[in-house]
Amino acid sequence: MLSKYFKIKTASDEFSKNLDIIFEELKGKKVLLYGAGDGFVVLNKKYDFKQKLNITGIADLKFEKNNKNLFMGFKKVLPKNIPNEDFDSILITNEQSKKIVKYLKEKLRLNCDIKALFVEEIKDEQINLNYLYKHKFDKTLPKLVKDMKGKKVILYGAGVFLELIKKYFDLSDLNITGVCDKRFNKHAEGETFLGWRVFSVDEAAELNPDYILISTKMYVGLIRSLEPSVLKDKKFRPLLKKSFITLIQEAWR
């Protein structure tokens, strides 16, 4: 089953452009592919890797349970046997590219050219984007916007989770005054984060927002820590709504 991250990334013009660049860089080289999942089947149907690259084989852990020699016309290679293969470069087609790169370099001790189709522009981009869709952020955001209509809000939490949300979702209909975070307790005049003004906790309290939207991935403990502070009389609400069961499960981890 294809993840939301895979669908969004591969549908972008940027992905196609980067793939063209990779094809050009690998022209004339012997290429070993890594990743024979559903994602590769979809990508190969669209881009026809065999016609664009000199592919010597394709590696995947799932081949350990299959005795056939070929996969979609490509020679099957067990990951542990990669060092014995003849290739110049490895092209990772799996979206879990960070784990695979680590395996190739640390476990197999390969020192070769390794390229990946899926490169995260934001830390933990794949994990967090799939997490947002798992908890139906695309459905709850419009409801939140409706509830916040005419309300002045401040976001609390200036991290990669908010950066990812800002990149993939439209927050323009929220009346966001700025972003508050403890790291901004000492900030430069006019400093911004993702285009929003930044505020210290004290400054946020003085602005008297209607709501403070918690823009972190985990927020139960954070809200508890803020309640005794100068923000104690403010209304808190998570930017990402989760089920009660999810909150309990995450609280026990």
Alpha helices in 48-196 (DSSP H): 49-52, 97-102, 125-134, 137-147, 160-168
CA angle 52, 82, 50 (to 5 degrees): 15
pLDDT at position 65: 84
Are the beta carbons of 126 and 5 closer than 8 angstroms? yes
Whole-angstrom distance, CA of residue 234 vs CA of residue 24? 55
pLDDT at position 236: 87
pLDDT at position 227: 64
pLDDT (tens digit per residue) in 112-137: 999 999 989 899 999 999 999 999 99
Domains 4-116 and 134-252 share a fold: yes
In the predicted model, residues of the chain with pLDDT beneath 70 are 227-228, 230, 232, 253
User: Residue 4: which H helix or E strand, with range?
Assistant: helix 4-10
pLDDT at position 228: 67
How many residues are given for the chain?
A: 253
Whole-angstrom distance, CA of residue 169 vs CA of residue 8? 12
**Which DSSP string corresponds to 211-249?**
EEEE-SS--HHHHHHHTTTTTTTSPEEESS---HHHHHH
Candidates 227, 221, 226, 225; CA nearest to 253 is 221
Pick the CATH number of 4-116 from 3.30.70.580, 3.30.565.10, 3.40.50.720, 3.40.720.10: 3.40.50.720
Where does 134-252 sit in CATH, by number?
3.40.50.720
Residue-range domain boundaries for the chain:
4-116, 134-252
